Each structure stands twice: as structure tokens, then as C-alpha cells.
Chain A
Amino acid sequence: MYRNITHILPRPILCLTLLSVLLPTAFSQDSTTLPDLERTARTLLRDRCIECHGETTQEGGLRLDLHESLLAGGDSGKAIQLGQSSESLLISRVSASDDSRMPPNGSPLDSSQIETLKQFIDAQAPWTDAPLADPKRDHWAWQPLSSPSPPPLNHNLADESNPIDQFLNDQLAKVGIIPVAKANREVLIRRLYFDLLGLPPTPDEVEQFLSDSSHDAWERLVDRTLASPHYGERWARHWLDISHYADTHGFERDQRRDNAWRYRDWVIDALNKDLPYNQFIRDQIAGDVLPESTPESTIASSFLAVGPWDFVGQVETPSPVIKRLARADDLDDMIAQVMTSICGVTIHCARCHNHKLDPIQQQEYYSLAAIFSGVKRGDRIVSAEESSAIESQKSDLKNRKRSIDQELLQLTHGLSLADIVGGGDGSGNGVPGQGIDPNSGNLQAPNDKRGFLADIVVNRLNQTKNPWIDAVFIPDGGALRQLAISQSGIQALDIPATDSKAWDAIRNGPVNSQFSTTLQTIDYAPPGYSMLSLHANAGITFQLPHDKLLTANSTFSQPANSSTTSTEQSTSPSTEPASFTFTSHVGYFGQTPKNGADVFVLLDGQIVFKYLGLGRDDGLQTIHIDLPQKDAYLTLIATDEGNSIGHDQVCFINPSIASIQQSQSPAIIERIAILRDQSKKLQQELDKLPAPRRVYGVLTEPPTPIHRLHRGNTEDPREVVRPGVLSCVGPKLQELEQLDQQTPDAQRRLALAAWLCSPDNPLPARVIANRLWHYHFGKGIVSTPSDFGLGGSLPTHRELLDWLADQLIQSDWSIKRLHRVILLSQAYQRSSSGNENPAESVDAANQPVWRQNPRRLDAESLRDSILFVSDSMVLNMHGPGYRDFDYQEEYAPVYKHRVFTTPEVFRRSIYRFVVRTTPHPFLTSLDCPNPATLTPVRNTTTTAIQALATLNNALILQQCNHFAQRLLREHPDNIEMQAEQAIRIALSRRASDEEIQSASQLIREAGLPQLCRVLFNTNEFIYVD
């Protein structure tokens, strides 16, 4: 026994210490051998302790996987007193019955386990092997990629031609299953088209393939199909499922993201041009901060921002507590999306505690959060260079146009009050669209659009910087129907009480979300007209000193570049006291036809114009008011007409003050014509300028420190965590080791991208190879494509998966080449019918892939096929999504889906404007997922509600008519031909005589659209063999 100990303890010094103390206690207790004791005790430590006291985490500063650290103890002192179990903290903690009991989770150690630990300590903690490893770390998915060679050819299976088949057949041979034969060509081309393009083949394409007798007909068909631009549209759908893309924020204020679509287009293009997968990942993680960043890679990085985002929690709430929670959810969404989509790891379990299944510590979750802590979401330009080039062109054109318009305005309009509201001096140098906040008097920039104003104080006279403006205010006449309207103390009488609400600003142009700028068929949107918009409730008082008007008027009457006119002007008598007029046309530009708002114009506090209950139907009202020949105050007020504000957009068209005597000579008239022409041409040039491209994407900011949050509670932050990645998998990279609190956002994300794209990280290649398999066979080699961890499924063919992953890396990460190798396998081409194969009774689940799996079309493919077959489909690629809903601007915007007849909505479903809070009813009934969820696998359900949708939905019935019209166009007089073609086009195969006969009969008895409806509802149309 004694010899035994020295033998197993390699270090002589330790041996000596042991020798001196060991003998009295260790061997008196029982007959367990020391190696046994060591093994049992260390297994216990490994299984129950090192999750929190191991290599990655050392709770309480204690580490139990190394002998030295076990002996050293932790923050609470020595964990064990060698040879004295009764004095050891470790034993008292595992035996405790209160909160201090270890381990804190799961069942307590039983008495025999505690006894083992006691003996272990009393035996001087014998320790021979290397440090203990967490068995969860041995999980297959974390292991490096193997490069397996395909098993040798099995000569009993004559048709195998492809390494994939060698792998599969090898396993089939082991279980004694003979795979089924190849499917026929009609089945194959339909399967291929739906898999790669999401559309059915046309009858011509089917015929061409059927009649192609060359030996490589299939191979060439595969290559042709992979080269189709519709490939990117189809496969982008898969990636957008995985990344939960949508075109609105989600949550209560489900606002639009009008520029999100550029990311969707980027995915389509990246797939079509076969962007290497490692680059595909890198651009999406850090494309905006790459040293060689391009507009395209910047758009790609929007990947991090495509998920839901709570505007109220992020922006609107004044509560810091709620803001912290919203930001934590925001980061969680990014982390979960990146790790599940690319790595197949369910990281978000570690938000509140160590991952229950995978070897992921809570602190690693927060390390990943720290990677993204400089990432915010928002609209951004895709390229600063592009934007500034366009902006400088634009401002050049605008400057030229402005000087022309300014002159024009002087010649035609006098002093423009709209221009003054836009920050100008009345001559046309104000900013179009700019306005004034009636609640503060502050300038409101054109793009600073507001909804309902907060913290309103009614009847407060707010000053502005503009000398022409006395005050702005939010009127409420109250019970006395009275309020002050000028700093000078003027009171207005007979102004009604209001609901004290206000919207956006008083603007030089339309207000935010203005219903329209058109009234009775004329569009009054500037240029051409000036527009002062006053959304009820708001008021503005202009101060018009008479001498100032005189000065302004004389300037206005001097057309530039016209010396003749100038002379004429200078000779004309100007001693006569000039008098001025305020002229304008006022209208209600909101939606309400009648009784929308009350409008008042006051001169020095006296109402000189009023229109109560102005509505859209009332059209424009002319205002013509002579001003007195003295200093005057002119006030414009719009109130809510007692029915609260809602689209109460009151606009004054061409509100101006001009001298009555202002004459217009022929020279001026000619000059006006020339200027108008120049202005129009410049406007056309401006209109042609593209807007700088914008995308809803990533805004990079200086990162904030990330704390580990105890139990995920944002109000219980613990230690600050260093940015980092998972420790259980992938390479240890220097750029990751170097990350600290000072590292800027760019380096953090670049380091993560480097880790994800490293060929030494086995997960990204495995996960994408499995996803391809999943979409081609209806089931992945790992049947949980976004969970490769211990909670996920095990691979049915691990070597094959590694071979595929390895192929991907070896072929420069080409996704299309990986498709190709899968599609050319015999396995892919097998029949999907298990009919008469004995394997059906042995393995109906088709685990070893002895046949193909039949599949139902997903919602989008079904819709696209119906439109395609009916010849309604508009195949234009790219651009903003089609909107098949009515949109209503509200605090919480309303989206109501309905069926449209305009061709704009007949685009492929990938171009649908996706609303998070309002799922598309028809597509949802066919299992189109909610874009709040990361969807690696589509559900396939069959319900009565779904049957009702495919039978009765207005879209289906509309397309039945379109399909019928197409058939009538192509075969006007022959019912049999209509029947035959209908089947051929819809089902991509020739019709049998019996089918033609039944179909013709239905056409005669029920009409052609009914046959189309039947075909759209057949299982054959909706399932792919």
C-alpha cells in the first residue's frame, strides 16, 4: 500500500509531505484502494462542482479541477485541510442544510458521496491525472472537423456515384435496407425547381428536360437552375427565416422600417453570386467596420439589426429601469440570432444562469453581449462618400434654384409667411419643410418629424428667433373663449375650447403624416406653391411693423438683372403711403370630409376671417385682408372643432403680404416666364438625383461596460465582463484574447467574425452544411438545425456531415458547389415513395435516407406558384417591398391586410413588406412563421382553417380567374385543350385521358375558374414528391 502511494504520486516533494502525515488516518477506514478513491472523488468533483469552480468560472475564487488550486482554496480560505475532513470547509458546505449548501442547484450530495469526499481529504487528496475536464465538453459538435474519407464503394448498389451515396449506402447496408429507385424525370425537375427556385417548372422546361437524352442532362439542369436569379430569392427566404427579418419594429408602436429591404436584397444577391460563406458571415457581423468596408458590406451588417426592437422601451419611456431592460432584450436578440443562426448554439439560456445542457457559463453570455455593446439599431446611410457626393450635387442645384425661386417669389408673391415659418425672411430663403414647435417656439428641422407633442402648456406665448414672428402657441379658449395671442398683450375673444393636444409643428410645407397635399385635384405641394401648415391645435402671430414691410416690399419689387425695370421702379413715385394686403387660400388637407377644424385669422386680436367646421369637402377658402397703414399683428389659428385632433391638417396656400400698388410690367412678366422655366429645369435635375441609399441597420457607438446580471436581472448587475466568445468550441484567437473594456466596437466585432470564419471553428461549416441538407431532404442530418448542443439531436450521419462541412471549406466556402454535390447524389434523386419497399415497415421515418421525403410547399412557395401559374406574377427583382395592406398612421400604426388587384402586389413573396404585429392571415394559415421567432424549421400543419383559406380566400379566387383567363387566351375555343393545359401548367406533367375528361366536364358544368380552384387545392399541387 505504501508503495502504491509513491507510485501514483509523481512529485517527490509532495510524496515527502504525504509520508509524514498520511499513515495515521488514511488506511484505517476501509479497504478502498487509493486509485479507486481518487477516481470516485474526482468524478464527483467533475460532475457536481467544476461547472462553477472550473477552468472557465471560479465562483468565490475557487477552482477544483487542478490539484494546486484545490489545495490553495478560494476567497473563503482553504477548501480542504489535508487529512482533516472534519475541519474542511468543503465538507461543511456540501453537508450544510441551509442556503450555503453546495452545490446550490440540483439534489444535495448523498451521504455516501460526502463520505467519499471525506475519505479523499483524509487520504491527502490523491491526484495523479491531468486536470479534470467537463464531460459536456466532449460533445461531438464542439470537436474539430474530421476529414473523413467516404467508405469504399458498395458493389451491391450499382448506381452509387457520389461520395454522399457512399456514406449513406454504407449505413444502409449495415441495417440491411436497399434504397428505392430514382424518381422519374417529371418528379425530379419539379422537385429541383421547388427546392432551388420556389417555383414550378413551365411545361416547356419540363419537355426540354424529358427530351434531353444526353448522359449529363440532370447535371446540366442542376447547373442551369443554380444559375437562375430566382435561386437567390428562394434561398434568401430560408436565411430570413433563420434571422427573423421583418419590415417593422414590432411591439406596441410597430413602426415601419422603410429601408430594411436593402438587407433582404443583399442576401438575395449574395446567394446569387455565391459569395463565399465565410465572407457572407463576416460581412453580416462586421461589414460596416471592415477595413475594406463597402456599401454592400455595410448593408450586410444590418443582419444584426433585423430582429424586433421596442421603440417605447428604447426611446419613449422616461424610466431608466425600463430602458435598461429594453436594451438588455435588444442585446439578447442580437446574441441569440448570431449564435443560433451561424453556430447552432442556444446561447440565450445562459442569460440568467449557466446553460443547463451545454458547457456555456453565464459569464460567457455576457462576454458575447460585450462584443455587441457598441451596436445600436437605426436608419443609416450605406456610404458616407456616396452620400456626400450626392449631397454636394444636390446643394449646388438647390442653391442655383433657390436664387431663382427667391427672385420669382419676390416678383409674384410678396412677403411669404410660409417662408418665414421655414426660417427665412419672407423672400424665399427659408428651408422647405422646416417648422416651429408651437409648444416651445423651437426650430423643427424638416426631417425631425413629431407626432403628438408632449408636455403641452396651452396658451403659453412661445418666442422664436425670427423677428417677423411675435409668438407661437397652442390655443385653448377654455370656458371664457379667450386667450392672449401676442407678447404685446393683445387678447383674442371667441376662440373655442380645445382638447389641448397638438401634433408635429407649424411648417413651411406639409406636416408629419399629412393625409394629402392635394385638394380638389390640385396638388399644392411646394415648389410652385408655398404652403404654411398648421395642424390643430396651433396658433402663430406675426408682427408686421409698417416700415419694415415698406423696406421688404421695395426689395421685392426690384427684380434682379433687369436694369430697365429698376429704372422704372426708381422713377415711380413712392412717396404715397403704401398699403398692404394679406392674401391666402386656406383648406383642410386632412381626411375628414366635414367639420374637421375651425380656422381663424385675426388682425390685432380681432377676428377678420373665420371658418368653423372646415373639412376636406369644403375646398379652398379665399382670404383677402387689407392691413392698416401702421404696425400690425396678424394671427393664424387652427383648433380642433371640439371633436379632438385627428388629421386636422389646415394649410394656408401662398400666404403672403404684398403691396397693393405693386405693378407687373411686361418686362416683369417676361422675366417671370424665364425664371419659371429655369426653375422647372433645375427641379427636374434635382428629381433625377438619387437619394443617398439608406438602410435600417447598425449604428456603431463607443461600447458601454457590460456586467454579468445576476439571474438576468438588469437591476442586479455584478462584475464587469470582458468581451469574448465561447470557450467550449473553436480556436483561441489572439484578437479575442486582446479584447478589453477599451476596445472599440469595430475590433470587438471583427474579432468575433474572425472566430466565426476560422476554419478551426467547426460549427459554422457544420451548421450551414446541415441547413442545406435540411432544405434539400426536408430533414437535417441534425434534425435540430439551430441547436447542435447537448439539447439538440445527434447527427444521423456524423461523418457525412463532417465531409460536407469539409467540402465547403475546401471549395472556398462555395455554397453553390455544396448544393451541387448534394443535388448530384443518387440520394437526392430517389423516389419519395416508400411504396412496396420493405424498409417502410422497418424505418418509416427514413432516418438513413433510403428515399426522398415528400414535402408540402411552404406558404410563400404556394402563393408564388399560384401567381406564377396564373401568369399574374411580376418577376421584377429587388426594391422596396410590396404592401398588401392598408396602412393607417397612429400612435400604434394599423396594418390591415386585404387583397389588391394592382400588379405591384403580384411580386414574389420574398418582396413582401413584413409587418411584425400583424401576420399575413393567408400565409400564416400555411405556417408562415412569426418574424419575432428565429425559425430554423418550418412547421407543417394541416387544419380546417387552412383548407378554408386555400378554397375561399379572395387571393385564391382572384387568381383562379387569372388562370382561367390565361387558359382562355391560349386556347380560346377548345375545352379539352384548356383542361389539358391547366393540368400541365399547374402540375408540371402531362394529363391522363381520364383527367382531361373529368376536368373538361367540370369546365362545362361549373366553369373554368372552378377547375383552376380545384387544381390549386389538389394535394399534388401543394406537395412535392
Chain B
Amino acid sequence: MSTKNSLIDSAPLSHDSRRDWLKSASTGLGIYALSNLLRNNAPALEHRSNQKELHHPPRAKHVIEIFCPGGMSHVDTWDYKPELERLHGTPFDSELGKQTFAGVAGKHAKSYWQFKQHGQSGRWISDLFPNLAQHVDDLAFIYSMQSKSALHGPAMFMMNSGFIQPGFPSMGSWVTYALGSESENLPEFVVLPDPRGLPPGGIINWGAGFLPAMHQGTIMEIGNGNEIIRDLFPAEPIERDAESRGISLLQRWNKKHAQERPNDSMLEARIASFELAGKLQVSVPEVIDLHQESTTTHAKYAIDDPDVGPFGKQCLLAR
């Protein structure tokens, strides 16, 4: 008996490493055709078929967003504010003070860390990041972003969707909606939440808003005992044999049903979705298995550190 059996009889992965597998997953053939098939949402479909006509063809292959609500302040890291050093200890402008969340503002405070210029670009970085400082010429910094609200909830929505109200698609939703995904066997938009808790506003920070649900973030829970992806395997154990007999009858009936309705692509898409689901059952546990990474990598990401380990793990998985 097994709960972790696959929906389909899938050949074991022949690739030696997780990296190889990921690489092949992102360069597989026929992927666009399948993702098109899975989209019966007209605008998205239309959009995809016009892919070649985009005036700005996408060059990025992956987007990783590390979002640290409650993280370090920008004025302590890479947003050098010499004016703060000058004003250190003087009272904060009372008019501005009115806008702070907690009421009366205190005094100006300069950063606790020293700033120095680095790289050819002369980017200012604080002593907090001695290693990162060596790579400033490869990084892009955006200093112009600001939130329309100082409140946690609205500010989270602002960061993730560009609006302070809930209900708008998140960044990942827009990216996958607009540019699609090349990955056949993994969800398009994956979220690795901090095991210690969700940001204010909860999981709708990665919601699809008014875009189709397929563009919402798929949550992968790592290392907290929960299922990696919700419902990846049956909630109660089902014997492997019973499972495969059931799935095979299901697909047989579904195919017959679709044959009688030959012009309905939604039906074909749903049949394909079960096949893809079976592939996910194989690929997802494979992808999150960090044992295949070398001990050097583990050390670099401080996987075993009690404090920063969970974050290192998230970073490694994201990569």
C-alpha cells in the first residue's frame, strides 16, 4: 500500500540531478501547445497566439522575487541617505509625522552601518552586505518605489499587486499571464512561504485577482510537515492498484465523452490536466529533494543553521 503513488505510469526520471531535470523541464518541446490547450480563457489564448507579435519579446527565463516584509530597512542597506547623517538627532518634520502609522514620530536617526561606494558604478552599499557589495555592477537597484499607504495590509498589496486594495493580480500572476511559462511539469508561479507565517493580508498577496485562477501562486510548503502542494496525493491512502484502475476508467470515459463532442476543446484540456497532474506527482517531490545538492551547496546556503536555515532553503529551492 502506498499513498505516494502516481496517477499515471510514468517512467522514472532518467536525469541524474535535480538541476538536469529542471533544465529539461524548462526547455521541453511542445510545451506551448499544451499550455495553450489548457487555456480556454479567450483573452489569454488570443494573447498566446499573438506571442510572436509582441513588440518586446521576453528575454528573462525566470523571475525570483524575495519579499521580506519586516526585513531590514533600505536606509540601512543600499539606499544611502547622507542627509540623515546631517539631521541625526534632530526632530522629525511634524507634518510628515502625521502620516506615520504609530502616531508621533521620533527623531531622525542615521544608519547604524557605514556606507561605502562599490564597483565601477560606485553604488553605495552599507557594511551589512560585504559580499553583495562586490557584485553591485551586476545588480539593478530601484529607488523610486514607494507605497501609497503606511499600513501593513494595504502596503503588502501595493508591493505585490501595485494597488493598496485587495483583489488585483499579483506580480507573478501578471508575469505568467503575459509571458506564459515554459515549464510543463511544474506550476507556472510557485510561492515558497516563510514557514514562520504569512505576510499581512495572507495568501491573497499571491492571488490572481480577476485573472484566471491558473495564474495564482501555487503554494509549496517546505519543511513544516504539511503537504508540499495541497492535494498532491490522496488525503487518505488509496491502494496503488485501485488508483490506477480508477484513473484508467476515468480517462476512458472522459475520452469517449469528448469524442461525442468533438469541437469542445475544454474537454480535451481537462483530460490533459489529469496527465499533467500525474507528472506533478513525480516531479514535485523530485524538485524539492535537496539531498541531491552537494554539501558545499548546503553549507553555502546555511541549510542547517537553526536561524537562517529555512530562508537558505527557500533561496536554494527558488534557484
Contacts and interface: CB of A to CB of B under 8 A. Distances in A.
Contacts of B210: 929, 933, 935
A918 B236 contact: no
A329 B271 CA distance: 43
B245 A1018 contact: no
Interface in A932-948: 932-933, 935, 939-948
A966 to B, nearest CB: 18
Contacts of B192: none
Interface in B82-97: none
A418 to B, nearest CB: 36
Contact of A251 (B100, B153, B241): B153
Interface of B: 7, 38-41, 98-103, 148-154, 156, 164-167, 187, 200-204, 207-214, 216, 218, 229-236, 238-239, 241-243, 245-246, 249-250, 252-254, 257-258, 260-264, 266-267, 269-271, 273-274, 276-277, 279-281
B207 A944 contact: no
Contact of A835 (B201, B262, B270): B262
Contacts of A940: 40-41, 212, 266
A840 B187 CA distance: 33
Contacts of A1020: 253, 257
Contacts, number: 228
Contacts of B280: 944-945, 948
A940 B266 CA distance: 9
Majority SS at the chain B contact face: loop
A854 B263 CA distance: 11
A317 B200 CA distance: 16
A1017 interface: yes
Contacts of A251: 151, 153-154, 166, 201
Contact of A322 (B101, B250, B266, B274): B101
A1018 B229 CA distance: 23
Interface string A906-932: 000000000011110110111101101
A474 B250 CA distance: 65
A92 interface: no
A941 B246 contact: no
A957 interface: yes
Nearest to A899: B235
Given A930-B209, A951-B7, A1019-B270, A322 B150 contact: yes
B278 to A, nearest CB: 9
A317 B101 CA distance: 6
A919 B257 contact: no
Given A933-B167, A947-B270, A322 B99 contact: yes
B213 A939 contact: yes
B38 A1002 contact: no
B166 A308 contact: yes
A926 B39 CA distance: 14
A1014 B153 contact: no
A252 B100 CA distance: 17
Contacts of B234: 951-952, 957
A712 to B, nearest CB: 10
B260 to A, nearest CB: 8
B230 A318 contact: no
B128 to A, nearest CB: 28
Contacts of A899: 235
B70 to A, nearest CB: 13
Contacts of B200: 252, 892
Interface residues of A, number: 78
A985 to B, nearest CB: 16
A948 B103 contact: no
30 contacts: A251-B154, A318-B102, A833-B263, A840-B263, A844-B263, A917-B201, A918-B203, A919-B203, A925-B213, A940-B40, A942-B270, A942-B273, A943-B214, A943-B273, A945-B187, A945-B214, A945-B218, A945-B229, A947-B273, A948-B231, A948-B277, A948-B280, A951-B231, A951-B274, A952-B234, A953-B231, A1006-B243, A1010-B245, A1011-B246, A1020-B253
A699 B301 CA distance: 55
B38 A916 contact: no
A919 B206 CA distance: 11
A917 B39 contact: no
Contacts of A308: 165-167
A961 B243 CA distance: 15
A697 interface: no
Given A941-B213, A957-B234, A1010-B243, 15 more contacts: A312-B152, A325-B149, A833-B261, A840-B263, A856-B266, A917-B166, A918-B204, A947-B270, A947-B273, A949-B230, A953-B231, A1006-B239, A1007-B242, A1014-B250, A1017-B250
A954 B236 contact: yes
A319 B154 contact: no
Contacts of B151: 251-252, 310, 312-313, 317, 322, 326
Closest 9 CB pairs of A and B: A932-B167, A252-B153, A954-B235, A1006-B242, A932-B166, A917-B202, A944-B276, A251-B153, A947-B277
Interface in A308-350: 308, 310, 312-313, 317-322, 325-326, 329, 333
Given A312-B153, A917-B204, A948-B280, A854 B249 contact: no
A414 to B, nearest CB: 46
A947 B276 contact: yes
A954 B201 CA distance: 26
Nearest to A918: B202
Nearest to B152: A252
Contacts of B277: 944-945, 947-948, 951
A1014 B249 CA distance: 7
B165 A930 contact: no
Contacts of A930: 166-167, 204, 207-209
Nearest to B101: A317
A319 B40 contact: no
A53 interface: no
A283 to B, nearest CB: 26
A915 to B, nearest CB: 9
B254 A998 contact: no
Contacts of B99: 319, 321-322
Contacts of B100: 319
B38 to A, nearest CB: 6
A941 B39 contact: yes
Contacts of B213: 924-927, 939, 941, 943, 946
Contacts of B41: 939-941
A420 B212 CA distance: 59
A254 interface: yes
A947 B264 CA distance: 18
A1019 B101 contact: no
Contacts of A933: 167, 209-210
Contacts of A918: 202-204
A313 B201 CA distance: 14
Nearest to B102: A318
Interface in A945-978: 945-949, 951-954, 957
A321 B98 contact: yes
A501 interface: no
Interface in A828-858: 833-835, 840, 844, 854, 856
Given A310-B154, A941-B213, A942-B269, A932 B204 contact: yes
A942 B213 CA distance: 9
A30 interface: no
A610 to B, nearest CB: 35
